[in-house]
Amino acid sequence: MTDLSRASAADTARLIAEGDLTARVVLDETLDRVARQDPRLNAFSVVLGDQARAEATARDQQAAQKADQLGPLHGVPIAIKEELDVAGCVTTFGGEGNSTPVAHDGEVVRRLRAAGAVIVGKTTMPEFGAWPYTESVSRGITRNPWDTTRTPGGSSGGTAAAVASGMVPVAIGGDGGGSIRIPSAMCGLFGLKPQRGRVTAAPHPHLWLALGTVGPLARTVLDSALVYDVIRGSLPSDRFVAGESGSFVEAAGREPGRLRIGWSVKPVTLGIKPDPIHVRAVQETARLLTDLGHDVREVDPRYPDPTAAFVPQFFGGIRAEADGVEHYERLERRTRETYRLGSWVTPRVEEWAVRASDGVCAKANRVFQDVDVLLTPSIAHRPPRVGVLDGRGSLAASLLAMPAIAYAALWNVAGNPAASVPCGIAEDGLPVGIQLVGRTDDEATLLSLSAQIEKARPWPLLAGDTLA
């Protein structure tokens, strides 16, 4: 009997396609796990039980009629971060600002359903995804499955907790300053931020201007690639469009060849010191990659300062989303404070910041004149205890966010693909992740290299697992 809490999305779809399982059986077991585990984790803001059962039943009817025409995610339960539109649900952005359900799925959710996925529910996030810790007045505190006294990170913290606990095999998050990679690192998951413009923002023209993108958090590299091959691709309405790329699944399945890999533990953010656990993880990964035949050496990335380009786009993104809600007065006090602090960010300033991103990109990419991949920590600190944001205003919350985004946010400004890759469990019992950054439009190399690391150094699939 297959333990569906451990089954990957790829295996689940295969077992359903081969007739060994039905979508309804998979869905019922998923909902049982959610009912048992979510009360202690608070990963889900909405569980779509009845709708998901109807969708799973429809998937089984489709399989009976057109077994040779099933999508790559047929019957796979998937959860969606609160900031994305799911038909019939209120898009809350993690707060109480909206009260009317949306009539239509966003394009990413539409593509998932078209590929056969079953939408189980929506996952918690801090309001508007402003902070790398998943805590809010509206939804409460989301907890790390590895240690419920610790944060899962954010802003895709509910997504990470749902996957790391085995409630769902894969779930959708978003990344505007590290929000896929940070919770992946804290929860032991693989999380790839794709190239800017790789995934459509529809029905919006962009997500936080040049900073944001949507993508999955997964327990395996293949699952991430499988979902990306379903959701990637732009529409005419998208402001940003990525360059050409081949199949992500094919990239995850091939050897990367001998690569030049530069490693550094130097943070982008001045004044931040990485935890020794993360320094050791980078050094151990560098040794592993050397043993795998790569040309590995320490480098100085000569990071540019992304602050002037990042901050206006951060404020602009928050203000645009706040302006779009139905009930501004219901937003958290900290969110309204952030809104006021960003009042200087006019449309003209936003456009200046987007143009400044191009300059940051050019300087950040100098490192790739000498290496193919950059290896760094994913985050600087260990997962903090929950309650990080309790009683904190916007400025204090921003300071507390610095260790989480110290290695991540630059690559949102530059637009490069970057992935957090699990590398085991530290002596504190919590996962450790390292970051791999690739050249512009080169997700393929990151997927191939990450899959090679996964094979050479397997990571626990679920919170609480240990490997001999």
User: Greater confidence, 340 or 65?
Assistant: 340
383 near 430, Cβ under 8 Å?
A: yes
Mean pLDDT calculated for residue range 180-194:
98
- 398 has catalytic annotation: no
Q: Which of 81, 156, 165, 420 is catalytic?
A: 81
For residue range 280-335, list pLDDT tens digits in order. Answer: 999 999 999 999 999 999 999 999 999 999 999 999 999 999 999 999 999 999 99
Residue type, 307: T
| Domain parsing of the chain, residue ranges | 9-456
Amino acid sitting at position 62: Q
The b/e string for 213-250 (b: 16+ C-beta within 10 A; e otherwise) is: bbbbbbbbbbbbbbbbbbbbbbeeebebebeebeebbe
Token pair belonging to 160: 């990470």
Instruction: Give strand pairing partners of 213.
Output: 175
Separation between Cα atoms, residue 70 and residue 73, nearest integer Å:
8
Q: Which fold has domain 9-456?
A: Amidase signature (AS) enzymes (3.90.1300)
DSSP secondary structure of 188-240: T-EEEE--TTSB--TTSS-STTTT-EEEEEESSHHHHHHHHHHHBB--TT-S-
For 112-127, the pLDDT digits (tens) are: 999 999 999 999 999 9
Query: Is the pTM for the entire model greater than 0.95?
Result: yes
Catalytic-role residue among 155, 224, 378, 450: 155
Structure confidence by residue, pLDDT tens digits, 61-76: 999 988 778 999 999 9
The structure tokens listed for 73 are 């995610």
pLDDT grade for 468, boundaries at 50, 70 and 90: very low
Which one of 45, 138, 156, 179 is the catalytic residue?
179
The residues, any chain, with a CB within 8 Å of residue 228's CB and separated by 6 or more, are 192, 194, 198, 199, 215, 216, 248, 443
| Active-site residue flag, 179 | yes
Q: By the 8 A CB rule, do 59 and 71 touch?
A: no
Alpha-carbon gap, residue 203 to 430, rounded angstroms: 37
Active site residue 455: no
